Amino acid sequence: MSSYSDDDIQASREILSSWYNELPINFDRKLLVEASNNYFSIEWENKNNDITQAYFFPENKGLIKYSSKQDFYNLENSTKLVVERPIKYSNNAKNVIGVLEVQFANTKQTYQIDQSISYVDKIDIPETSNLSFMVAIILAFFGGIILNIMPCVFPVIALKVMSFVKSHLKNAWRHGLVFGLGVELSMLALLSLTFIFRNLGQAVGWGWQLQSSVVSTLLSLLFFSIAFILFFKVEIGTSFTRLGNLGSKSTGYLNSLLLGCLTVIVATPCTGPFMGAAIGWGLSQPFYVSSFIFLSLGLGVAFPTMFLSLIPSSLNLLPKPGAWMVKVGQVMAIPMLLTAIWLAWVVQRQSGFIGLGIY
């Protein structure tokens, strides 16, 4: 008779299943592998242009220059990865075997590659100038503005705007600037960590923090708590904003700063669907160039809130405080709760049902 209970067996199955899901899967898209004297490239079908990072780990020795940066390009209907070959190489294999790791907005997938190599005189490297620095800056700014109406960002922004209404315009401009500062500092922090991890050899892209089940769990609990507070009519500006004040008797500037930070953290998965080109281009540039791109993105995210706070006449367009604020708060609780449920689903995908059970 087995000494293991049904729960133990089920838990073991879930652990094995979660590890099995991490294994590379067969690549089922059209694939072209080319090599020249100087470069090695992999191009595959991708009509969504939703890839934020790609990295190839070849099993063949001497096929690529390991210390060289692997550049990827989201083209019209495909994605192309290009890497230098070593000056002195001895491997002209007919087939390449390896693992292709692809990073999307908030998920990562690995693929098993076993493909014949076409040797050519020259590999066409896409021109990065098709998205110039200024165009990327502009796209990032307007993309940040659009993020304000996305379901993962709008409730947080709405809370800040409602606090302006309740404050009767007093010190609103200061809170707007502090909110913008929180957004920009968070952008720089996430970008810096992204570059640090990449330099340490990790294949990470924008939104990498949501790959951690711990971070996803904490964010899910946070959004569930906010939804609970809003739905059960806990007054915004007292109990909720004290979460930002951390019990201090300040005027709430720390709350504005933390709301700016929270906005960036939850906005990252929403940037992928319509900002893949600007983000992908920015992450492929040196850090100082990427900094301008993502600071522009942060400025776009903070712009509507800062506009309302810096121009008093614009706040006059908002309705006066009243019972409607409670109703709006309850409505805002719905997307907050949906976001919490979605993040719980992400935790389940990352850690299996065991991780979800712990959560």
- 21-52 residues labelled b (16+ CB within 10 A) or e (exposed): eeeeeebeeebebbbeeebbbbbbebeebbbb
Q: Find the distance separating the first CA and the last CA of the chain, reported in whole Å.
A: 33
Q: What is the pLDDT of residue 281?
A: 66
Q: Helix/strand/coil (H, E, C) string of 210-261? A: HHCHHHHHHHHHHHHHHHHHHHCCCCCCCHHHHHHHCCCCCCCHHHHHHHHH
List the beta bridge partners of residue 108: 103
Mark which of 73, 102, 126 sits at the end of a domain: 126
Per-residue pLDDT of the chain in tens (359 residues, 90 and over written 9): 456 677 777 777 778 777 777 788 888 888 899 998 888 999 998 887 778 888 999 988 888 888 778 888 888 888 999 998 887 655 677 889 999 998 877 778 889 999 999 998 888 887 654 457 788 888 888 888 887 777 667 767 766 666 666 655 567 778 888 889 999 999 898 888 877 876 665 555 666 666 677 777 877 787 787 777 767 765 444 444 444 343 334 457 787 888 888 788 777 666 655 565 666 666 667 788 888 988 998 899 889 888 877 876 666 666 565 666 667 667 777 777 887 887 788 777 766 655 555 54
The span from the CA of 70 to the CA of 81, in Å, is 7
Q: Residue 163 and residue 158: Cα distance in Å, rounded?
A: 9
Within this chain, do residues 93 and 161 fall inside the same structural domain, yes or no? Answer: no
**pLDDT tens by residue, 211-228:** 677 777 877 787 787 777
CATH assignment at residue 100: 2.60.40
Other C-beta atoms lying within 10 Å of the C-beta of residue 9:
11
* Site of tokens 């690995």: 110
Among candidates 327, 153, 162, 178, which has minimal Cα distance to 236? 162
The whole-model pTM stands at 0.56
Task: Give the pLDDT confidence of 96-140 residue by residue, as tens digits.
Answer: 999 999 887 777 888 999 999 999 888 888 765 445 778 888 888
Same domain? For 119 and 135 the reply is no
By the 10 Å C-beta count (0-12 exposed, 13-18 middle, 19+ buried), 308 is classed as buried
Side chain identity, residue 23: L
Last residue of a domain, one of 88, 109, 126: 126
- Same domain for 229 and 162: yes
**175 and 52 both lie in a single domain:** no
Domain that holds residue 78: 20-126
Say if CB 359 and CB 217 are below 8 A apart. Answer: yes
**Tokens 């609990």 found at:** 221
pLDDT per residue as tens digits for the range 196-212: 876 665 555 666 666 67
